[in-house]
Amino acid sequence: MHELSASQQQGTLVLSVVGRVEAGNAPELEREVVAEIEKGSTSMVLDCSRLDYIASAGLRVLLVVAQRINDDGGRFAVAAVPHRIREILAISGFDQVIAVADSPEQAISGFN
């Protein structure tokens, strides 16, 4: 189960994901994030500071979102990723495709 909340910081949409992203709820997360993109969000940070677990289905969501935003000329990053999840991003090579920042503020600063 996951929760998603949104806020705006310096013109960037910051989505905070809480809980676990697994095969059963990854499609819901994808729908929620894609809905924000379709509303016109082209600068987005996914705050993972309260993310407990992410399965391969969740990693796929990150990739889909990053590609979609990048294709639209926007910017996407994940931020405040817990160490164990950051290791997964590194091992899988996702950190070569998706920007990873220590905090949402650092990600936003990198966009500007």
Taking the model in full, what pTM does it have?
Answer: 0.94
CA distance 35 to 38: 5
Query: 2-111 has which fold?
Result: Transcription Regulator spoIIAA (3.30.750)
Question: In the predicted model, what is the mean pLDDT of the chain?
Answer: 95
- Which pLDDT score is estimated for 1? 67
pLDDT tens per residue, range 14-50: 999 999 999 999 999 999 999 999 999 899 999 999 9
